[in-house]
Amino acid sequence: MTALTCKLLVIGAGPGGYVAAIRAGQLGVDTIIVEAEAPGGTCLNVGCIPSKALIHVAAEFEKATHFAGDSAIGVSAGAPAIDLAKTVAWKDKIVSRLTGGVGALLKKAKVRHLEGRARFVDGKTVIVDGADSETKISAENIVIATGSAPVELPFLPFGGNVLSSTEALELTEIPGRLAIVGAGYIGLEMGMAFAKLGSDVTVIEAAERILPSYDADLTKPVARRMKALGIDVRLKTKAKGLVSGGAALEIESAEGVETIGADKVLVTVGRRPVTDGWGREELVLDMEGPFIRIDDQCRASMKGVFAIGDVTGEPMLAHRAMAQGEMVAEITAGKNRRWDKRAIPAVCFTDPEIVTVGLSPEEARAAGHDIRTEIFPFAANGRAMTMEAEEGFVRAVARADDHLILGLAAVGAGVSELSAAFGLAIEMGATLEDVAGTIHAHPTQGEAFQEAALRTLGHSLHI
């Protein structure tokens, strides 16, 4: 058995882990990172990046289909075709480029990268089971960045025709009938993409509406788009299990039990933290439900042990993990850092997209704030009109007394790119006057941000 020592050991090379390792290496911290799979974690390999690639392809295919018929803008084309196997190969090349890039960045930062599965012996010692050998690592500080995994339903275990998002992104043929269990952001992103590619999609959701973690005003344009795509949405309905030899799904609602045809069933009911399989039982860690409890420096309850990313709770977002990883690296290098973020952007890559930063009107009122809030619709935005993207709006939520912005949100085509401006405004403590007084380029969709601030102040210019 090989024996190694380091100042910082990172377990898991997902977005949080690899950022922690790279930043630590940049700061001269002797660092080792351990990962059993390709670097990049779920997000890069089987999540964020490949799903956005599929969403892009679906949008391009739908556009081509649109131009095969009568087009208001005067563009016409022949009937389109899709080769999903070729799409997957293109997606895999993107993933390969990015994972290779992460590996190169780790090497550049002089981080030692071990392939294998880590398991704790104690709070300072880890054994890495590699393909051909074991390595014992003694570390002054250890970062747990083990991420999360899809939740499996006991009556719909993964395998065969029952898919997690990972398997759905590897399909080389478009399912004729696709049933999706769960109307959260993963289910709807995938469902809308496959509907555009030609699948007959049914969404089963136990709650009263789609995207239950977002407020209803933001989800209404998405619901309208799903209807236009022909997606059958079954709300207040539960999946029961496969029937007819796995070719159909039994569901139950207030109207009773029925069976729907399904060539594939995609289960997207959430993700769970990966807290097993790496020796947690050898440690004494305080837990918060299924998650590792951390303080405002991402320290766990044992000295020298940090935890970052999905394993520490909501929001399970790659950019949260990255920010935590950077902070922990700087702490181990002796810098004085604490987690003091006003807001973390969340984006739903449905059609149209949704972006939220900070508080919704309901959340702000529940927190005791007297607020002012208004929207500016993209139907009054010139750039949106020229892009055939008039659905949606930008919304501002601010305190009534000093106009401090508490929350920003938008729903519309491409609004994910507004997340940077929204996040910066809240992080810097901007007021409505700050945004309204900032000159926004014309014609852009970003003008709707300025107009939302102006309208909330009571003097919108273009509506």
Q: Tokens in use for 30?
A: 């002797």
Whether residue 293 is found in the same domain as residue 227: no
Q: Is residue 341 part of a domain?
A: no
Cα–Cα distances (Å) from 396 to 213, 315, 381, 407, 442, in that order, read 19, 22, 16, 6, 20
Q: In terms of Cα–Cα distance, which of 184, 231, 181, 191 is closest to 210?
A: 184
Cα distance between residue 155 and residue 325, in whole Å: 37
Torsional sign, CA 256, 262, 268, 274 = positive
Among 254, 269, 284, the domain boundary falls at: 269
Confidence class for position 300, pLDDT limits 50, 70, 90: very high
Q: Is residue 421 part of a domain?
A: yes
CB 306, CB 294: distance < 8 Å: yes
- Quote the mean pLDDT of the chain: 96
Tell me the per-residue pLDDT of 433-461, one tens digit each, with 9 for 90 and over: 999 999 999 999 999 999 999 999 999 99
% of the chain beyond a pLDDT of 90: 96
User: Which residues have a Cβ under 8 Å from the Cβ of 161 and sit 6 or more positions away?
Assistant: 242, 246, 247, 262, 263, 264, 265
- pLDDT score at 69: 83
- Mean pLDDT within 123-131: 95
Q: Is residue 262 part of a domain?
A: yes
Whether residue 142 is found in the same domain as residue 14: yes
Cis peptide before 443 (omega within 30 of 0): yes
- pLDDT score at 222: 98
- Mean pLDDT within 279-304: 97
The number of C-alpha atoms within 13 Å of 316 and in the hemisphere containing its C-beta is 23
Q: Which domain holds residue 113?
A: 2-150+272-332
Q: Is residue 339 part of a domain?
A: no
Cα distance between residue 286 and residue 284, in whole Å: 7
Confidence class for position 125, pLDDT limits 50, 70, 90: very high
Q: In terms of Cα–Cα distance, which of 308, 305, 327, 321 is closest to 126?
A: 305
Cα distance between residue 411 and residue 355, in whole Å: 7
**Confidence check: pLDDT of 189 > 90:** yes
User: Which residues have a Cβ under 8 Å from the Cβ of 87 and sit 6 or more positions away?
Assistant: 53, 54, 57
- pLDDT score at 70: 83
Pairing of strands 177-181, 264-267: parallel
- pLDDT score at 345: 97
- Mean pLDDT within 254-274: 97
Confidence class for position 172, pLDDT limits 50, 70, 90: very high
149 C-beta neighbours (distance < 10 Å), count: 15
Confidence class for position 258, pLDDT limits 50, 70, 90: very high
Q: Is residue 383 part of a domain?
A: yes
Among 269, 293, 310, the domain boundary falls at: 269
Burial of 459 (0-12, 13-18, 19+ CB in 10 A): exposed
- Mean pLDDT within 337-359: 96
- Mean pLDDT within 157-173: 96
Tell me the per-residue pLDDT of 2-60, one tens digit each, with 9 for 90 and over: 999 999 999 999 999 999 999 999 999 999 999 999 999 999 999 999 999 999 999 99
Q: In terms of Cα–Cα distance, which of 425, 416, 423 is closest to 445?
A: 416
Among 235, 253, 269, the domain boundary falls at: 269
Whether residue 192 is found in the same domain as residue 140: no
Cα distance between residue 152 and residue 267, in whole Å: 8
Q: Which of 403, 442, 459, 462 is catalytic?
A: 442
Q: Is residue 156 part of a domain?
A: no
Scored b (16 or more CB within 10 A) or e, 384-423 reads: beeeebebbbbbbbbbeeebebbbbbbbbbebbebbebbb
Pairing of strands 248-253, 256-261: antiparallel
Whether residue 14 is found in the same domain as residue 141: yes
- pLDDT score at 456: 98
**Confidence check: pLDDT of 290 > 90:** yes
DSSP, collapsed to helix, strand or coil, labels residue 201 as: strand
User: Which residues have a Cβ under 8 Å from the Cβ of 131 and sit 6 or more positions away?
Assistant: 115, 116
- pLDDT score at 437: 97
Q: Is residue 137 part of a domain?
A: yes
CATH number at residue 409: 3.30.390.30
Whether residue 42 is found in the same domain as residue 143: yes
Question: Maximum Cα–Cα distance for the chain, whole Å?
Answer: 72
Q: Domains in the chain: how many in total?
A: 3
Cα distance between residue 120 and residue 173, in whole Å: 42
Q: Is residue 440 annotated as part of the catalytic site, yes or no?
A: no
% of the chain beyond a pLDDT of 70: 100
The beta strand positions in 68-198, using DSSP E, are 112-115, 117-122, 125-129, 134-144, 148-150, 162-163, 177-181
- pLDDT score at 248: 96
DSSP-assigned states of every residue in 25-67: HHTT--EEEEESS-TTHHHHHHSHHHHHHHHHHHHHHHHHHHH
CATH number at residue 199: 3.50.50.60
Whether residue 23 is found in the same domain as residue 120: yes
Phi, then psi, of 453 in degrees rounded to 5: -65, -45
Q: Is residue 276 part of a domain?
A: yes
DSSP, collapsed to helix, strand or coil, labels residue 402 as: coil
- Mean pLDDT within 364-371: 98
Confidence class for position 132, pLDDT limits 50, 70, 90: confident
Torsional sign, CA 391, 394, 397, 403 = negative
Cα distance between residue 163 and residue 60, in whole Å: 25
